[in-house]
Amino acid sequence: MNNSIPRRLLALAAASALVLAACGDDDDESDPTGAGDTTMGGDTTMGPDTTMDGDTTTPGSTGGTVALEGGSVSVSGSSTVEPISVRVGELAIEQSGGDLQATVEGPGTGDGFELFCGGETDISDASRPIAEEEIAACEEAGVEYVELEVAIDGLTVLTNPDNADVTCLDVPALYALLGPESEGVTEWSAASELAGTVGSEYVDQLPEAPLDIFGPGQESGTYDTMVEFLGDPIEAQEQEETLRADYTSSARDAEIVAGIEGSSSSLGWVGYAFFVGEGDALKAIEIDGGDGCVAPTEETIADGSYSFSRSLFIYVNTAKAEENPAVASYVDLYLSDAGLATVSDAGYVDLPADRIEATRQAWADR
């Protein structure tokens, strides 16, 4: 199995190291996928814990400036959003003398909201909207927040390039492969009967080949999004909507990618940036959402023709933003033209102008 870190993310680690060297700090091992500890602007270990320093004035969203206050900011949550939040911290380093410190963790959207609603973090990265039970937890704890959409992602269904038999699937076929009724199915073609039952037009596209599945665990917003996209076509199903439990799951996107690369007939899913970062080492399976097969690209994700498109968010504790000028400074930088430019650098898709304006207005109205 290829255990390499995605190439795009290795480039991020290298860039981080250069910034740290310029600031006179020490660097340790690098894993910006959300698997280790990263401190930027201090002692450095790359991974879900990332501390970044910055204190500056930088171009703002209207051509003005964003004055960055010194202090510390804690960010946790989605490993999908993490690369964007990391880059915003790096931008703070580039523009400052290093007084603004942001610690970024990527344990998963669900775990991030647990910390956030417990008052343990300032900002929660999320690859899905906050769930009802999480809203209730925040309300019970007295945590008030503002939801800010920051980017668009395409949940990307992947296989190994050697798997030439699978190029496009519809949602019913994916359900037959990943739904809870398929536990114990170890060959693609063994899901054909269920695929036909739930209405797939791709029954004949499931080859007689081993089915090796790699994906995020239940702590991940990317897991939750897949559950939402697949729906529940089995009307008699009485259990909670979920996925089969017998696949190789990980909170680390790099491990999911490595698993998909390591099996010639694999199936898995991650955020678009992790697919882009691997280039030809992975093959995206096109999705037929009812209007024919569509591949994930910046264009199809942006216009929604790729049916597995989704929004990415940050949630900000408004009381902490009021009490701690560093929190407000970090978010101001995040939503500036310079901050939002990091979205495409991280491998995701920029919001259209009207949605950027809506996000900035929501922050202004907090």
Domain closes at, from 260, 278, 307: 307
Residue 250 and residue 356 in one domain = no
Length of the chain, please?
A: 366
**Residue 2 domain flag:** no
**Residue 179 domain flag:** yes
Residue 299 and residue 336 in one domain = no
Q: What's the pLDDT score for residue 94?
A: 80
Residue 140 and residue 28 in one domain = yes
Residue 15 has pLDDT above 90, yes or no: no
Span 295-321, average pLDDT: 98
pLDDT (tens digit, 9 = 90+) per residue, 99-148? Answer: 888 999 999 999 999 999 999 999 999 999 999 999 999 999 999 999 99
pLDDT (tens digit, 9 = 90+) per residue, 172-214? Answer: 999 999 999 999 999 999 999 999 999 999 999 999 999 999 9
Residue 106 and residue 73 in one domain = yes
Residue 172 and residue 80 in one domain = no
Residue 148 and residue 182 in one domain = no
Question: Given phi > 0 = left and psi -120 to 50 = alpha, else beta, which region is 284?
Answer: beta
Domain closes at, from 264, 290, 307: 307
Residue 145 and residue 176 in one domain = no
**Tally of structural domains, the chain:** 2
**CATH code assigned at 260:** 3.40.190.10
**Residue 206 domain flag:** yes
Beta-strand (E) ranges in the chain?
50-52, 57-59, 65-67, 71-77, 100-104, 123-126, 145-154, 156-159, 168-170, 212-215, 248-249, 266-270, 283-284, 286-288, 293-294, 309-317
Spatial CA neighbour of 243 closest among 225, 263, 257: 225
Domain closes at, from 273, 292, 307: 307
Span 83-105, average pLDDT: 88
What is the pTM assigned to this prediction? 0.83
**Residue 12 domain flag:** yes
Residue 63 has pLDDT above 90, yes or no: no
Give the structural domain span for 275: 156-307
Residue 303 and residue 169 in one domain = yes
